[in-house]
Amino acid sequence: MKTTRRIIAAVLTLVLICATFAACGGTQEGSDKYEIGIVQLVEHVALDAATEGFKQAVIDELGADKVEFDFQNGQNDPQTCSTIANQFVSNGVDLIMANATPALQSAAAATADIPILGTSVTEYGVALNLENFNGTVGGNISGTSDLAPLDKQAQMIIDWFPEAKKVALLYCSKEANSQYQVDVVKAELEKNGIEATLYPFSDSNDLAQICTTAADNSDVIYVPTDNTVAENTGIIDNICEPKKVPVIAGEEGICAGCGVATLSISYYDLGYATGKMAVKILRDGEDISTMPIGYAETQTPKFNQQNCEALGITPLEGYVAIEAE
């Protein structure tokens, strides 16, 4: 009998211990600690800054002990982004932050229930194939856009290089928002009588070949906010600088790597604004379906001092030098 009682006591003790651990471990009902999954298409300066801004805003508002981030790098592969997004759904995260267009598309395909905030996405109507997009996506998606005024970027090319007659528009054909940007810039340039030619490349493997052709046949090259370009600015710089072909870039990180000038937004600030949207959803209960897409409030004209000197170009007045890292 003593042995039996000891066994029963041991079992009861084990049950109590398991119950205690179950109550203490994991995400409890009623817990105010949030889990946010971050899927970032690829690591480069602009997207990294947006992620850091996002995380800092959430921490500033909620406190570091109230949020857990699961950051995953998509390795510039939409399929990898899809795998990550589906894993976030399986894990039951409270919110997904999708950094860059393919990441947003993957998250949107993975869930219609978990709130999704995009950032570093140029045009949500194009990214999500929305008809008559009016600035609010609806459903479980909102976020911020990195779209700088494309008409002003086209005008930059004219202002910096008034003698240019041929402009190449170099971009990755797999990025829908890159196509959108170059189409708009092309139309703006053609309004001013400038021959604008599209030079799409499929991935980093054919970038050098296409860039060489573009440089050989153009006075100026324009590159939009394009993630594959951002990851491979060294390839473009190594081709264009020796050929004395200047590059106007869609954002500061690309300009720092291979350009002479840009109309820049702050990706850190863009991410920070996205983080504040996340807090409104998670803590304040705001309805994401009614939240309009946010845009950068200011753009700063900047130039690359080193590239300007290498090409013998005098920066225009009003442009700020990009700080060297």
pLDDT at site 31 = 59
With beta carbons less than 8 A apart as the criterion, state whether 22 and 240 touch: no
Helices of type H across the chain: 2-24, 45-62, 78-91, 101-110, 124-127, 150-160, 176-191, 204-216, 227-231, 233-240, 252-258, 267-282, 305-311
Report d(CA 320, CA 11) in Å as an integer. Answer: 72
Q: Higher model confidence: residue 167 or residue 32?
A: 167
pLDDT at 9 over 70: no
For residue 144, what are its two tokens? 């911020």
With beta carbons less than 8 A apart as the criterion, state whether 287 and 261 touch: no
pTM tops 0.85:
no
pLDDT at 14 over 60: no
Q: Which residues contact 70 (CB under 8 A, 6 or more apart)?
A: 35, 36, 37, 38, 88, 91, 93
pLDDT at site 323 = 86
For 270-297, write each residue's pLDDT tens digit: 999 999 999 999 999 999 999 999 998 8
With beta carbons less than 8 A apart as the criterion, state whether 151 and 77 touch: no
pLDDT at 10 over 60: no
pLDDT at 157 over 50: yes
With beta carbons less than 8 A apart as the criterion, state whether 221 and 235 touch: no
With beta carbons less than 8 A apart as the criterion, state whether 97 and 278 touch: yes
**The tokens 């805003």 sit on which residue?**
57
pLDDT band at residue 325 using 50, 70 and 90 as cut-offs: low
**The tokens 């951002």 sit on which residue?**
230
Please provide the average confidence, as pLDDT, over all residues in the chain.
Answer: 91
**The tokens 């007659």 sit on which residue?**
165
Report d(CA 199, CA 241) in Å as an integer. Answer: 18
For residue 243, what are its two tokens? 């050929």
Structural domains in the chain, sorted by start: 34-146+266-292 (3.40.50.2300), 150-264+300-321 (3.40.50.2300)
For residue 74, what are its two tokens? 């998509």
**The tokens 């909102």 sit on which residue?**
142
For 122-155, write each residue's pLDDT tens digit: 999 999 999 999 999 999 999 999 988 999 999 9
